[in-house]
Structure 1
């Protein structure tokens, strides 16, 4: 069995962690208590052997982001803003409508707009490579600007602090130290397998991968970009896995450095209460995989909804 890399994402006032068997979200409610949601991972992308094939397994990262990640984010918002846990809903039409709208905005902003700008500038900068480079630079510029702008919002800054807590906790676990706030606090908020680095790699690779698909019709270009997203995700994921296991190599460290720098926009130093929340999310994930560590004090789990359908 190949090595499994634990990870997760920040949510509203909490952290989501994912393992081989289980996903756990730990969120602080307005009373300051940590509310836990645990859910088994039953989708075929996790349970089938083909889901772990090289390049195919990168799709699980997309599934996490679009499926589990968005659901966890919506649930955490309900917990963070509600005193009554029985009113919390982890899924539903409102959540999935929000996801669909967010996807449409993302496609328009990070795919349609850069493609259109590159198409317009071709009269002054002709050629496939020049067009792909302009498209990639515009896409990266929009991505960096977006992260910088949302980082100015107080609520998002707190999410970025929880993002830092998630990274510190994973770093501490991988270093083999005790999962306590005092120990976890010593680690960096940067992590080489961060989703921010993953997206940077996707943007960088898109310059080369999109270059051959130099259609004159903008809608064909856009269609080719959308169809190539799974391919980009697969290649980027394998790059992340390779570099994660070769961090002692100077060339590898140089290649991942831009992604680590970019994490400066999406992480902040967390406080101890945030670290405790991240630890509370990771410990049951490890336990589900047969890795026993001391369980921190926590509140009772929230009621478990139906698992995410495959």
Structure 2
């Protein structure tokens, strides 16, 4: 098995694959045609070398993945607007935004979406667990146990959240594309030709999955925050926000190591995340695998010669 440093993301009726500074989004349009959008992305680490260092690179990767994720989700959604909506004249608010921001409107929308996502995530996974843990703080002997309760609540909220969204029909299709993304990368790592038949044989689980990363972030936050002794609610909240970049950076390094290592320790650490992918992935059909292949080919065409041979 030959690990590759390629990551991906499922989108609406499609898959994004990223290889170094290139990413490609393949989407199956309503008319069944597969359209591919390939772009170059220059990481901020090319300008500030600090973000090439361990931990710091994970902090940056977390932010940049949010930005790219919002862009490609917006791109894929454009193909599935209701036909009537396309024919309607833009409303007053739409015209106002276009007048104010002009050609930069798409960037503004993506930026707003990223900020809103971060605010909602902080509310759900930081403020809510913190508030609930405050209800039992008088019954616990020390701050470490309060932080442990806070962390356990965060894990429960995370698991319940994944379970709820996994029941949504539209999300289930996205999770099928998520499975197609993993199976395609697994096939590539096993150095097999990227065909639907070959890819179907491979697992829909992968150690470097974003689900694994998020779970490690949640678990790592318990370990880091248990050693910080602050008493007031708002100080505890501030500490959690300030530690989030560090936790994300540490978690990124763990995910990178899991992707390279075949050790027993790595297998044990990866196991909970692989189990969790039972919720966030589904077995894809052949047409969904074709989309994943198209996306993967898009980021391999300029790669090593042996990769070119495997994609046919």
TM-score band by shorter chain is 0.7 to 0.9
Match of 1:153 among 168, 190, 193: 168
Match of 2:203 among 170, 183, 188: 188
Write 1 or 2 for the structure with the bigger share of helix.
Answer: 2
Shift of 1:211: 1.7
Q: What's the counterpart of residue 34 of structure 2?
A: 34
Output the CA distance in 1 between the equivalents of 2:46 and 2:164: 35
Q: TM-score, normalised by structure 2?
A: 0.86
Output the CA distance in 2 between the equivalents of 1:183 and 1:255: 28
Q: Contact 2:193 / 2:311 at 8 angstroms: preserved in 1?
A: no
Q: What's the counterpart of residue 231 of structure 1?
A: 246
* Deviation digits for residues 39-67 of structure 1 (CA, Å, limit 9, x no counterpart): 10113235765433211221243134311
Q: Contact 1:114 / 1:136 at 8 angstroms: preserved in 2?
A: yes
Output the CA distance in 1 between the equivalents of 2:275 and 2:162: 13
Question: Is residue 2:130 matched to residue 1:91?
Answer: no
RMSD value, Cα: 2.4
| Runs of 4+ displaced beyond 6 Å | 294-297
Q: What's the counterpart of residue 203 of structure 1?
A: 218
Output the CA distance in 2 between the equivalents of 1:48 and 1:99: 22
Q: What's the counterpart of residue 270 of structure 2?
A: 256
The alpha-carbon distance between structure 1 residues 37 and 285, as it changes in their structure 2 partners (threshold 3 A), is same
Match of 2:227 among 202, 212, 215: 212
Question: Is residue 2:263 matched to residue 1:244?
Answer: no
Output the CA distance in 1 between the equivalents of 2:53 and 2:190: 27
Q: Aligned to 1:36, what secondary structure does the other structure show?
A: strand
Q: Contact 1:171 / 1:191 at 8 angstroms: preserved in 2?
A: yes
Question: Is residue 2:271 matched to residue 1:265?
Answer: no
Q: Contact 2:67 / 2:111 at 8 angstroms: preserved in 1?
A: no
Greater CA drift, 195-204 or 44-53: 44-53
Q: Contact 2:13 / 2:173 at 8 angstroms: preserved in 1?
A: yes
Output the CA distance in 2 between the equivalents of 1:268 and 1:289: 29
Q: Contact 2:151 / 2:222 at 8 angstroms: preserved in 1?
A: yes
Greater CA drift, 279-288 or 191-200: 279-288
Shift of 1:132: 1.7
The alpha-carbon distance between structure 1 residues 267 and 47, as it changes in their structure 2 partners (threshold 3 A), is farther
Greater CA drift, 16-25 or 159-168: 16-25
The alpha-carbon distance between structure 1 residues 262 and 154, as it changes in their structure 2 partners (threshold 3 A), is same
* Deviation digits for residues 177-206 of structure 1 (CA, Å, limit 9, x no counterpart): 001111111100100000101111111111
Greater CA drift, 49-58 or 138-147: 49-58
Q: What's the counterpart of residue 78 of structure 1?
A: 78
Q: Contact 2:13 / 2:76 at 8 angstroms: preserved in 1?
A: yes
Q: Aligned to 1:91, what secondary structure does the other structure show?
A: helix
Q: Contact 1:30 / 1:81 at 8 angstroms: preserved in 2?
A: no
Greater CA drift, 236-245 or 190-199: 236-245
Greater CA drift, 191-200 or 60-69: 60-69
Q: TM-score, normalised by structure 1?
A: 0.87
Instruction: Report the count of equivalent residues.
Output: 291
Which of the pair has more CA radius of gyration?
Answer: 2
Shift of 1:235: 0.8
Q: Which runs of 5+ in 2 are unaligned?
A: 91-103
